């Protein structure tokens, strides 16, 4: 807005003041778009605990430009918010942006909340991941002897921790780590995206995890865990990018997740050979519901192979597997010890599978040569029902251990449509025993058909697990909208 000076001098003084104010306000309006302004918005989310205190990562110097390293910002924020553990707890809000960071720890009574447009970018510098001791139930790292790089998001000996958001993304930028693995250049075991140890009351929900260097979500030695609404994406040939691995955990619920993986979508574990036997902490009371899996070289749900502390009372239902090697696979070996028992599976839909049923007692990797060759695993009371599959290469490969058969296998109401180029032997069974009813094609002789007159569905418990009583609240937090 421009006025000739001659015009301004002819205007009374009071009017010149008012006009000047208009000019200034107009100028400010013109540059308004060049300055960040914000407003507050309240968002609601579901969590096991709500928090009394909220802070943003930007309050601690965080810069979401994709190149500035924010490890110290995360550490400073968590350290500051830890003072509210006994005063209503705290929430750290991660706004929209790309937040490059190395590993950082969580604290008690704490929520990490990712905006829908927030991306945590995992640093590719090994120096940003401290090396920690191997898990006592494993005795060594999974990739190498000795220690392991700590996970990107880590916590130990915690109570009441929530990692959630609006489907914000955690990107592990795993290609560099995968290349090092293939070239044998790793000094220590690769970091996971999220690992929580020795903790209780844990929720991980409403997130997208992509390109993890190795396992994505690893609760270990924990109890009362809810993992819900997670999307996990990794190239189907990426090494060991397991989706969710409950490990020596009690009372866990995994539900409503979509997983594309280079390894098992869900791998249930409890320690490795003599180390797992000595540690003696089983995984039990595990519910898995409404999971979709794509993994051409691995299982939808794997039980083992590290199962030496025992796996018991696993209930899986409403499962979808597409272009996946097998549905529910049991992996063990001589020297493992431990047990896998009381396994219940129902309502599985499969399309394009190598195997529907797969059990093996010859999964022979060992942490070292000190395992007990007389430690035989016990595999018993395995129940499958109400399943349908199409385009299948082999209906079943069920291989127990000579002198230590897998027992109490029950398969009922299962229809398998074989692929045009299926193997001639649909069922391959050794060292197992059990029963079947209403299964097409006809199972092997070691699973005799009970006939329609005496047939009953295989067991699936009707009582709920304790984790189903864990309450979820509707919480809210304020976030800045720029």
CA distance 384 to 409: 8
31-57 mean pLDDT: 80
Helix (H, G, I), strand (E, B) or coil at 245: coil
Q: Please report which confidence band the pLDDT of residue 120 belongs to, taking 50, 70 and 90 as the band edges.
A: very high
Q: Residue 177 belongs to what H/E stretch? A: helix 175-183
- 24, pLDDT greater than 90: no
263 catalytic, yes or no? yes
320-338 mean pLDDT: 98
Query: Could you tell me the two tokens for 41?
Result: 């918005």
Measured at the CA of 460, the angle between CA 458 and CA 466, to 5 degrees, comes to: 165
pLDDT tens string 284-312: 999 999 999 999 999 999 999 999 999 99
CA distance 158 to 223: 11
pLDDT tens string 337-352: 999 999 999 999 999 9
Whether the Cβ atoms of residue 480 and residue 52 lie closer than 8 Å to each other:
no
Which of 143, 171, 247, 263 is an active site residue?
263
Percent of the chain with pLDDT strictly greater than 90: 88
Indicate the average pLDDT of the chain. Answer: 93
453-465 mean pLDDT: 88
Give the predicted TM-score (pTM) of the model: 0.91
401 secondary structure, DSSP code: B
- Please state the separation of Cα 227 from the chain's center in Å: 7
pLDDT tens string 223-275: 999 999 999 999 999 999 999 999 999 999 999 999 999 999 999 999 999 99
State residue 364's pLDDT score.
82
Whether the Cβ atoms of residue 433 and residue 446 lie closer than 8 Å to each other:
yes
Length of the chain (residues): 482
360-377 mean pLDDT: 95
Distances in Å between the alpha carbon of 315 and those of 251, 302, 463?
11, 13, 11
State residue 25's pLDDT score.
41
Backbone phi and psi for residue 465, each to the nearest 5 degrees, phi listed first: -90, 160
State residue 41's pLDDT score.
85
Whether the Cβ atoms of residue 413 and residue 385 lie closer than 8 Å to each other:
yes
The region of weakest confidence among 6-20, 151-165, 459-473 is 6-20
Q: Residue 276 belongs to what H/E stretch? A: helix 273-279
């Amino acid at each position: 807005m421009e006025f000739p000076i001659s015009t301004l001098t002819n205007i009374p003084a009071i009017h010149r003041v008012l006009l000047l104010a208009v000019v200034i306000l107009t100028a400010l309006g013109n540059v308004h778009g060049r300055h960040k302004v914000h407003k507050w918005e309240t968002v609601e989310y579901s969590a096991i605990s709500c928090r009394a205190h909220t802070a943003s990562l930007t309050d601690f110097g965080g810069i979401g430009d994709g190149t500035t390293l924010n490890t110290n910002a995360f550490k400073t924020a968590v350290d500051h918010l830890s003072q509210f553990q006994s005063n209503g707890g705290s929430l750290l809000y991660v706004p929209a942006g790309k937040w490059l960071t190395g590993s950082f720890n969580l604290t008690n009574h704490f929520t990490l909340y990712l905006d829908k447009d927030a991306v945590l970018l995992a640093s590719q510098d090994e120096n940003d991941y401290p090396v920690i001791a191997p898990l006592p139930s494993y005795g060594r790292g999974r990739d190498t002897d000795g220690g392991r790089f700590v996970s990107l998001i880590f916590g130990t000996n915690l109570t009441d921790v929530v990692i959630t958001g609006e489907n914000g993304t955690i990107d592990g930028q795993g290609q560099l780590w995968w290349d090092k693995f293939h070239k044998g250049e790793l000094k220590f075991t690769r970091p996971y995206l999220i690992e929580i140890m020795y903790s209780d009351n844990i929720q991980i929900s409403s997130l997208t995890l992509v390109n993890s260097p190795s396992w994505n979500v690893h609760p270990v030695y924990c109890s009362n865990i809810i993992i819900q609404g997670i999307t996990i994406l990794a190239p189907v040939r990426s090494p060991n990018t397991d989706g969710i691995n409950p490990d020596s955990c009690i009372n866990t619920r995994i539900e409503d997740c979509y997983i594309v993986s280079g390894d098992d979508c869900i791998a249930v574990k409890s320690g490795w050979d003599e180390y797992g036997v000595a540690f003696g902490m089983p995984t039990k009371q595990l519910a898995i519901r409404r999971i979709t899996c794509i993994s051409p070289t691995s299982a939808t749900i794997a039980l083992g192979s590290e199962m030496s502390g025992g796996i018991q009372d696993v209930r899986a239902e409403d499962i979808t597997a597409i272009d996946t090697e097998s549905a529910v696979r049991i992996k063990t070996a001589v020297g493992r010890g431990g047990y896998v028992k009381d396994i219940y599976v129902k309502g599985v839909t499969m399309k394009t599978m190598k195997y529907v049923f797969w059990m093996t007692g010859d999964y022979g990797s060992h942490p070292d040569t000190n395992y007990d060759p007389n430690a035989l695993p016990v595999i018993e009371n395995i129940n499958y029902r109400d399943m349908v599959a199409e385009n299948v290469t082999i209906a079943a490969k069920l291989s127990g251990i000579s002198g230590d058969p897998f027992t109490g296998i029950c398969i009922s109401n299962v229809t398998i449509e074989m692929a045009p180029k299926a193997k001639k032997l649909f069922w391959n069974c050794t060292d197992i025993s059990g029963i079947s009813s209403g299964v097409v094609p006809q199972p092997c002789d070691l699973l005799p058909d009970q006939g329609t007159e005496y047939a009953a569905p295989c067991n699936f418990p009707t009582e709920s697990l304790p984790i189903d009583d864990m309450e979820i609240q509707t919480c809210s937090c304020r976030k800045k909208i720029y």
